[in-house]
Chain A
Amino acid sequence: MKITSSLVYKFGNNIDTDQIYPGRYLELTDHEEIGRHAMEGADPTFPSRFKKGGIIVAGTNFGCGSSREHAVITLKNIGVAAVLAKSFARIFYRNCINLALPAIMIPELDSFGLEEGQSIDLDLARGVLTSNGVSHHFVPLPEDILELIDRGGVFALYKS
């Protein structure tokens, strides 16, 4: 599984689900509509400036707070290709895997020196991130989880 030429969108530590998807939109159930409010609580300009296929790069405890699955649905539907963080909150992490949004925990992420707006390549299976011609290594997700993500998540699995 490879993701190429993705733009980096950087966020800090403890980005909670209210920042990823504000509570005032929780009654929405249409996924496309949910996708229009991604990261609005952290950065109201995000939905307009985000380019499909981009990657979120964050600090520790990404996705803390509420169990709302809208937080993953919104990122999926706006077209986030992957989330890299130093650590993830548990429920958000489970939701990501179920919905096939690669959530990759990289405790040493700071040392990769990624900057806002730069283009990176990701090889999920090998655990390699390439930026400016330099390769950085991380622990890849387990094979069965990668397969689940590759097949499109829990729904695709049950349909087959």
Chain B
Amino acid sequence: MHAIEKILALASGKSQVSAGEIVTAEIDVAEVNDLYLQVVKSFYELGGTEVKFPDRTTFVFDHYSPAPTIKAADNHRQMREFCKKMGIKALFDIGKGVCHQVLIESGFVSPGSLVVETDSHTTTLGALGAFGTGVGATDMALILRNGSLWFRVPEVMKIVLDGELKPGVMAKDLILHVIGKLKQDCAIYKCVEFAGSAVDAMSIDERLVLCNMSVEMGAKAAYIQPDEKTYAYLARYGIQHAKREVFTDPDYRYSAEYHYDVGTIEPSTALPGSVDNLALVREQEGIHIDQIFIGTCTGGRLNDIETAARILRGKKVAQGTRLVVIPASEVVFKQALAKGYVQTLVEAGAVFSTPGCGPCLGAHEGVLASGETCLTTSSRNFPGRMGSTEAKIYVVSPATAAASALSGTITDPRSNLSK
């Protein structure tokens, strides 16, 4: 069995499961974000009277935080009331950050745990050896009511990243390259495992980027086998042990395996419209950028902000270009403050906003006008994703975003490293 099959087997009281099988698994941690008042409505519609496991249930206000409209404010109000009524203590109110990062930093995620959130990017948690997957409102309402949910045990495809990253190349470039080659529907219903010497050498912040973006291939979940780095990282947030210590059996057969030499991968971008529109940054140089966004559960962690600060230190964002920076969480924000990155970026001309999803989903804090062009370290560039359907969005790494902020045009970060 694969490690993730073992997680699903243990969570559903079975000794053995295999791909394609449907299991009903008990959920270790459930999270509802503030797009989902529908969960509360559906919970009552399903005849729910009390939440089965209030201690395993969390709410995070991240997508509309702080509330930009009266409607959003009222949704928050109703969710706060629900948490109070149901005895849910883990309500992370405005400004705590994006749900996935908040759950990690609050000690809700450990290797081998089964975490379900009302957000597609829950695949992020695979970077810590957890089985994390996203669901809609009805499935989440069922979890609140019953404590469990049915899952189809997924096939697992393996992406092996070997070699050494070239300077100026980040995990974001690797995953954009992989998605561009394999295309955005290559992993529908599958789990994507990342392995190889480049993954071993990577920081947890960077591994989280790989797993986060695996949903852009259609993945149900992602996985990286936990190692010493994983446990050192989790120890910061009070996690000492795995929920379930699982390893993939040596005879496990992957549904597919893909190998990449990361040393050949250059700074990459997804051209407007689709995450698999792969191009090299150096081929796009010179295109004027109206707004640059560094943030989200994909590109707003300390490593991302540090990368931007290093490139922008003592310099200025180009006139005619806006730089919006939103830390993924309050914890990240405080770390960035303590290290002076916030000061550096503000002096360079960056605008900071409340930890959370920011303009990633086009709701607030920097949406785009018709005809504007944006570079983003977030994950998606669907038409209309960040505002007007007539805006163009390029997905890039934080290094490319920062280098481009200096020139106001798309710029290969390597040109900056040499100066």
The interface size bin for chain A is 35 or more
CA distance A72 to B64 in the complex (A): 21
CA distance A67 to B63 in the complex (A): 13
A68-B35, A158-B47 given; A98·B139 CB < 8 A:
yes
A19 contacts B382, C-beta separation under 8 Å: yes
- Shortest Cβ distance from residue B152 to the other chain A in the assembled complex, whole angstroms: 9
Contact digits for B214-226, partner A, Cβ 8 Å, 1 yes 0 no: 0000101000000
CA distance A27 to B34 in the complex (A): 9
Contact digits for B175-210, partner A, Cβ 8 Å, 1 yes 0 no: 000000000110011000000000000000000000
Note all chain A residues with C-beta closer than 8 A to B41. 29
CA distance A73 to B39 in the complex (A): 13
Contact digits for B128-144, partner A, Cβ 8 Å, 1 yes 0 no: 00000011111100100
A18-B380, A90-B220, A158-B47 given; A26·B361 CB < 8 A:
yes
- Shortest Cβ distance from residue A13 to the other chain B in the assembled complex, whole angstroms: 8
The 7 A-B residue pairs with the shortest CB-CB distance, nearest first, are A69-B136, A61-B185, A95-B136, A98-B138, A23-B362, A23-B361, A69-B137
B363 contacts A67, C-beta separation under 8 Å: no
B283 at the interface (CB under 8 A from A): no
Main secondary structure of the interface of B (DSSP, over half): loop
Note all chain A residues with C-beta closer than 8 A to B72. 27
A135 at the interface (CB under 8 A from B): no
Contact digits for B100-139, partner A, Cβ 8 Å, 1 yes 0 no: 0000000000000000001110000000000000111111
Note all chain A residues with C-beta closer than 8 A to B120. 65-67, 91
Note all chain A residues with C-beta closer than 8 A to B71. 27-29
B45 contacts A155, C-beta separation under 8 Å: yes
Contact digits for A87-115, partner B, Cβ 8 Å, 1 yes 0 no: 11111001100110000000000000000
B37 at the interface (CB under 8 A from A): yes
| Residue in A closest to B367 when the chains form the complex, CB atoms | A24
Note all chain B residues with C-beta closer than 8 A to A41. 382-384, 389
B385 at the interface (CB under 8 A from A): yes
The interface size bin for chain B is 35 or more
- Shortest Cβ distance from residue B358 to the other chain A in the assembled complex, whole angstroms: 12
A154 at the interface (CB under 8 A from B): yes
Mark B residues whose CB is within 8 Å of A. Answer: 35-38, 41-42, 45-47, 63-64, 69, 71-72, 75, 118-120, 134-139, 142, 184-185, 188-189, 218, 220, 274, 361-363, 367, 380, 382-385, 387, 389
A60 at the interface (CB under 8 A from B): yes
- Shortest Cβ distance from residue B165 to the other chain A in the assembled complex, whole angstroms: 28
Note all chain A residues with C-beta closer than 8 A to B46. 154-155, 158
CA distance A73 to B137 in the complex (A): 11
B136 contacts A29, C-beta separation under 8 Å: no
- Shortest Cβ distance from residue B142 to the other chain A in the assembled complex, whole angstroms: 7
CA distance A103 to B249 in the complex (A): 36
- Shortest Cβ distance from residue B186 to the other chain A in the assembled complex, whole angstroms: 10
Residue of A16, A26, A94 near B135 (CB, 8 A) is A94
A22 at the interface (CB under 8 A from B): yes
Note all chain A residues with C-beta closer than 8 A to B37. 29
Note all chain A residues with C-beta closer than 8 A to B63. 26
Note all chain A residues with C-beta closer than 8 A to B36. 69
CA distance A145 to B185 in the complex (A): 24
Q: What are 30 inter-chain pairs, A to B, with CB distance below 8 A?
A: A13-B185, A18-B380, A18-B382, A22-B389, A27-B71, A29-B38, A29-B41, A41-B382, A60-B185, A61-B184, A61-B218, A64-B185, A65-B380, A67-B119, A67-B135, A69-B38, A69-B136, A69-B137, A69-B138, A70-B38, A87-B188, A89-B185, A91-B120, A91-B134, A94-B136, A95-B138, A98-B136, A153-B138, A154-B138, A158-B46
A69-B136, A154-B46 given; A27·B69 CB < 8 A:
yes
A49 at the interface (CB under 8 A from B): no
- Shortest Cβ distance from residue A66 to the other chain B in the assembled complex, whole angstroms: 5
Note all chain A residues with C-beta closer than 8 A to B69. 27
Contact digits for A34-47, partner B, Cβ 8 Å, 1 yes 0 no: 00000001100000
B383 contacts A72, C-beta separation under 8 Å: no
Note all chain B residues with C-beta closer than 8 A to A29. 37-38, 41, 71, 75
- With A13-B185, A26-B361, A41-B384 given, name 10 new contacts (CB 8 A): A18-B385, A22-B389, A27-B72, A64-B185, A67-B134, A69-B137, A91-B120, A91-B134, A98-B136, A155-B138
Note all chain B residues with C-beta closer than 8 A to A98. 136, 138-139
- Shortest Cβ distance from residue A15 to the other chain B in the assembled complex, whole angstroms: 9
B362 contacts A24, C-beta separation under 8 Å: yes
| Residue in B closest to A60 when the chains form the complex, CB atoms | B185
A23 contacts B135, C-beta separation under 8 Å: no
Note all chain B residues with C-beta closer than 8 A to A27. 35, 64, 69, 71-72, 75, 363
- Shortest Cβ distance from residue A135 to the other chain B in the assembled complex, whole angstroms: 28
Residue of A42, A65, A159 near B47 (CB, 8 A) is A159
B35 contacts A155, C-beta separation under 8 Å: no
| Residue in B closest to A62 when the chains form the complex, CB atoms | B185
